[in-house]
Structure 1
Amino acid sequence: MVNEDLVEVFKALSHPIRIDILDHLKSQPLTTSELSEKYDVSRYATMKHLAVLVEANLVLIRRKGRLRVNYLNVIPLQELYNRWVSKYEAPHANSLLTIKKLVEGREGNRMEQTKEIKMGTFQIEQDIVIQAKIETVFKAITEDISSWWHFRVGDKESQLIFEPHLGGRFYEDWGNGEGTLWGTVTYFKRNDEIRLNGLLGMSGAVNSSYSYKLIEDGEKTILQLSHQAVGILEPHWEEAHRHGWNELLQENLKKFIEQK
């Protein structure tokens, strides 16, 4: 994160309404009208606050027909955390938190067993700015995926293969005809967009799709990730995938391309 971007983030976080907006968007994406109804200020004032958050890349706008839907983008906050917090965490404090979560998790599991299984949904939107041309980013996604996609279901020696065409597979090859399917390409436009259907670590009655949209911005490329899932979802899956995408794209893919 360059210092100019950092200034925009701190500016965005300097007003209580803007912090409150981020808290609301953490729970779920909301339209501008839905956010306006939560505050005793005019719609115009709410839109001005949203504009500051968008400028800092903390909020992403996706249009659905005539609606403007606002999504939390966690990447700038994760960068702040990586720069100032993560390096100074006390190991013993982290261990205590782990124990606390473990105990609370056991109690929660007892309660959870009495609840009905329910349908759920989530949508993750992230924008990653990469200092490279579109062609370079597209090649890294389709041809060099084993170099930065470090998640594996099998052992670390398994190979990741992306077949760059409509109907192609993105899969993990364990050898001897064994492996696992990460996704199937449903839309493929070179140097523009790729869409896939795939469970991405989830299991059971779930429909999951994700896409990469590339936008040229001078010498930079904006990679827009969109991931939707609907079905019988475990409570932790949304947060796990949000963190996983940030790690894969912001930390791994971006560094892989920019440090070549």
Structure 2
Amino acid sequence: MTPETLRRPPVRQATTVRSDIAHTFDTFVRTIGAWWPVNPYSRGQDRVRDVVFERRVGGRVYETWDDGTQRDWGEILAWEPPSGFTMTWLVTPTATEVELSFKELGPALTRVAVEHRGWEKLSDEELRAACALPGGYSGGAHARGWAAILGRLAEACEGAE
């Protein structure tokens, strides 16, 4: 490991969802456009009308705007429903990687964890500008952002059952 790698550890967040693993995973990938907080966590924000997961290795994850424009969020690198997936994350200035894991804790209880890694690829300037929230990577904005996103996922899962 280089000193740069040690200075830029992955962003990790997790939440517990009162929903079974299959429903939780399905809610994440099939209905992401309904619950994901596109404002501020997208490229088009108020223009976003849908977010699509092409559910396979090599598939795209992208947002569609009100005028039909599509903007990529990433490409699926690993696909293992309902236990998780890994994708590139193209919303940062230089591509990073996001891994979501889903672990059944009980019949209607699932732990969802995210690891957002690859920060060593970004310059210091890119790190400051790489998040929708103020503070960038070093100010903890990504950790706050992922916590908010996972909270919205939990609300979507628990509200649907």
TM-score when normalising by structure 1: 0.49
Q: Secondary structure at the match of 1:132?
A: coil
Are 1:153 and 2:76 matched, yes or no? no
Select the structure of larger CA radius of gyration: 1
Name the counterpart of 1:210: 98
**Contact 2:14–2:147, Cα closer than 8 Å, also in 1:** no
Distance 2:68 2:32 in 1: 20
| Structure with greater proportional strand content | 2
AA matched with 1:237: G
Alpha-carbon distance in 2 for matches of 1:237, 1:199? 16
Higher relative contact order (Cα pairs below 8 Å, separated by 6+ residues): 2
Counterpart pick for 1:172 among 63, 69, 81: 63
5+ residue gaps, structure 1: 1-29, 31-119
1:234 aligned residue: 127
Q: What secondary structure does 2:8 align onto? A: strand
SS in structure 2 at match of 1:237: coil
The answer for the alignment partner of 1:14 in structure 2 is: none
* Distance in 2 separating the partners of 1:156 and 1:240: 23
Q: Equivalents in 1 of 2:116, 2:12: separation in Å?
A: 7
Number of equivalent positions: 138
CA distance in 1, matches of 2:56, 2:80: 9
Deviations 1:39-84 (A, max 9, x none): xxxxxxxxxxxxxxxxxxxxxxxxxxxxxxxxxxxxxxxxxxxxxx
Q: Structure 1 segments of 4 or more deviating over 6 A?
A: none
Q: Is 1:255 the equivalent of 2:143?
A: no
Higher share of residues assigned helix = 1
Question: What residue in structure 1 maps to residue 113 of structure 2?
Answer: 224
- Per-residue CA distance 1:231-257 (angstroms, 9 max, x = gap): 21333322222111111112x110111
**Unaligned regions of 5+ residues in structure 2, if any?**
1-5, 129-134
TM-score by length of 2: 0.77
How far apart are residue 183 of structure 1 and its match? 1.3
